[in-house]
Amino acid sequence: ARIEKGGHRHFMAKEIAEQPSVIGDTIRHYAGTREIVLPEPGLDFSQYDRVLLVACGTANYACFVAKYWFERIAGLPAEVDIASEFRYREPPIPARTLAIFVSQSGETADTLAALRYCEGRVDRIASVVNVAESSIARGSDIVLPIFAGAEIGVASTKAFTCQLTVLHMLALKAGSDRGVLSGTEMETRLGLLSSLPGLVNHAVGESAEVERIAREVAEVEDALFLGRGAMYPLALEGALKLKEISYIHAEGYASGELKHGPIALIDQTVPVVVLAPSDELFDKSVSNMQEVMARGGRILLITDPAGARKAGDGCWRVLTLPEIAADLAPILYAIPVQLLAYHAAVAKGTDVDQPRNLAKSVTVE
Ligand code: G6P
């Protein structure tokens, strides 16, 4: 069937707007009230000592967020690799490793080659894919579809947040299988998860506000994105989105690395997007912001109401998202990051759905 833009100007806008609904679908496919239920043949995380997550592009950043979740929620060591590096490095793989390949298309050549390398070397191969009848799905012992629906825009949006949603639920299952997460904690976390689509809907509703800021961002040549903890991969994703579709040069950094290089670039011409919910690392992010402001840097702070109260003064712009459980923040904060790139690209008049030199699915090396 032909997929239409449904009243939106671009597929990317449609796909951003669809996120509350498709994230809800994803949750419904895996989450019960007390447990996470995986499709046959299932996964028992008590059998693995380590997860290896491999992907390319945006899917790789989803893996990077998942590393924080597996470690923090399940106490399970997790390693992330870029498929193009992993496949040629021929890394040794310890016993009791579960490999997880994440791919929207399920056809990315490097990711598929990395999967082939793992055949016979890991205990189990799982894939998190949007296209369930894909080469990567066929090569896996267990397929975990993300249920995002067809994604047409070259820059991945809803596939990213649905990948995150599935990976989050895998981390919950891992915590439960390994006896790290109690039954009560699981129920609490599943309850929090069920409120995610509503919060995402709120963030999508801030589009007009992001657009106003994006029109100013569209004027710059360079931008920095900063985040700590699981917001660090989000900073990488924010920079990737902006450069992909608006062609503005952007770099994502772990906030703590600011002083080891990127601070040299700071002046009023380089906006710094700080992704910082008011979590236990917030004060650290505030010090980083002060370092930027002391050098005349302009900060766009993306935070929650408490964060805006504590640190909004002196910022160039503040975008406020609803308060959310710390572990779910990366999914919610993906929305303003996508909207910022989208509206900056529209303001610049670039071809949002078909950015130059990029392909939706890279099936050749
Ligand atoms: C291309 C797309 C990206 C995508 C990456 C991985 O570069 O433009 O949006 O993240 O491939 O694709 P996959 O289908 O494996 O997720």
For the chain, the residue count is: 365
Q: Is 57 in the pocket of ligand 1 (CB under 6 A)?
A: yes
Q: How far apart are CA 246 and CA 248, in angstroms?
A: 5
Residue 297's closest CA among 324, 264, 343, 322? 264
**What does each C-alpha distance from 214 to 8, 219, 252 come to in angstroms?**
18, 9, 17
pLDDT at 78: 98
pLDDT at 1: 52
Pairing mode of beta strands 124-129, 142-145:
parallel
Question: Cis (ω within 30 of 0) for the bond into 145?
Answer: no
Ligand 1 center–CA 105 separation, angstroms: 7
| Degrees, nearest 5: CA angle 70-32-157 | 60
Q: Is 104 in the pocket of ligand 1 (CB under 6 A)?
A: yes
In contact, 336 and 210? CB cutoff 8 Å: yes
Q: Residue 307 CA to chain centroid, in angstroms?
A: 21
Ligand 1 center–CA 358 separation, angstroms: 9
Q: Is 154 in the pocket of ligand 1 (CB under 6 A)?
A: yes
Q: Is 105 in the pocket of ligand 1 (CB under 6 A)?
A: yes
Q: How far apart are CA 270 and CA 280, in angstroms?
A: 27
Q: How far apart are CA 187 and CA 234, in angstroms?
A: 27
The rounded radius of gyration (Å) of the Cα atoms in the chain is 20
Mean pLDDT over 9-30 rounds to 97
Q: How far apart are CA 312 and CA 286, in angstroms?
A: 10
pLDDT at 262: 87
The answer to which of 3-17, 52-66, 107-121, 130-144 has the lowest mean pLDDT is 3-17
Residue nearest atom 5 of ligand 1, based on CA coordinates: 57
Q: What is the pLDDT of residues 41-98, one digit of tens each?
A: 999 999 999 999 999 999 999 999 999 999 999 999 999 999 999 999 989 999 999 9
Atom of ligand 1 nearest to the CA of 359: 8
In contact, 49 and 77? CB cutoff 8 Å: yes
Residue 229 has pLDDT above 60, yes or no: yes
pLDDT band at 199 (very low <50, low <70, confident <90, very high): very high
Residue 244 has pLDDT above 70, yes or no: yes
Specify the pTM.
0.97
pLDDT band at 261 (very low <50, low <70, confident <90, very high): confident
Atom of ligand 1 nearest to the CA of 60: 10
pLDDT at 194: 97
Rounded-to-5 percentages of helix, strand, coil across the chain: 50, 15, 35
Q: How far apart are CA 353 and CA 10, in angstroms?
A: 6
Q: What is the pLDDT of residues 151-177, one digit of tens each?
A: 999 899 999 999 999 999 999 999 999
Atom of ligand 1 nearest to the CA of 358: 8
Q: Which neighbouring-strand residues pair with 52?
A: 79, 99
Q: Which helix (H) or strand (E) is 288 found in, with range?
A: helix 282-294
Place of tokens 């099936």: 363
Q: Which neighbouring-strand residues pair with 102?
A: 128
pLDDT band at 270 (very low <50, low <70, confident <90, very high): very high
Ligand 1 center–CA 229 separation, angstroms: 24
Mutate to test the pocket of ligand 1, among 54, 101, 108 (most ligand atoms within 8 A of CB): 108
Ligand 1 center–CA 363 separation, angstroms: 10
pLDDT at 361: 86
Residue 2 has pLDDT above 70, yes or no: no
Q: 117, exposed or middle or buried, with CB in 10 Å at 0-12, 13-18, 19+?
A: buried
Residue nearest atom 7 of ligand 1, based on CA coordinates: 57
Mutate to test the pocket of ligand 1, among 11, 12, 54, 58 (most ligand atoms within 8 A of CB): 58
Ligand 1 center–CA 360 separation, angstroms: 6
Mutate to test the pocket of ligand 1, among 156, 356, 358 (most ligand atoms within 8 A of CB): 156
In contact, 79 and 50? CB cutoff 8 Å: yes
pLDDT at 301: 98
pLDDT at 297: 94
Residue 198 has pLDDT above 60, yes or no: yes
The answer to which of 120-124, 138-142, 236-240, 288-292 has the lowest mean pLDDT is 288-292
In contact, 190 and 33? CB cutoff 8 Å: yes
pLDDT at 282: 95
Ligand 1 center–CA 219 separation, angstroms: 27
Q: Is 156 in the pocket of ligand 1 (CB under 6 A)?
A: yes
Mean pLDDT over 186-193 rounds to 98
**What does each C-alpha distance from 186 to 57, 77, 162, 226 come to in angstroms?**
31, 20, 20, 31
Mean pLDDT over 236-261 rounds to 95
State the sign of the Cα–Cα–Cα–Cα dihedral 341, 347, 348, 351. Answer: positive
Q: What is the pLDDT of residues 303-349, one digit of tens each?
A: 999 999 999 999 999 999 999 999 999 999 999 999 999 999 999 99
Q: What is the pLDDT of residues 213-222, one digit of tens each?
A: 999 999 999 9
Catalytically active residues, by annotation: 360
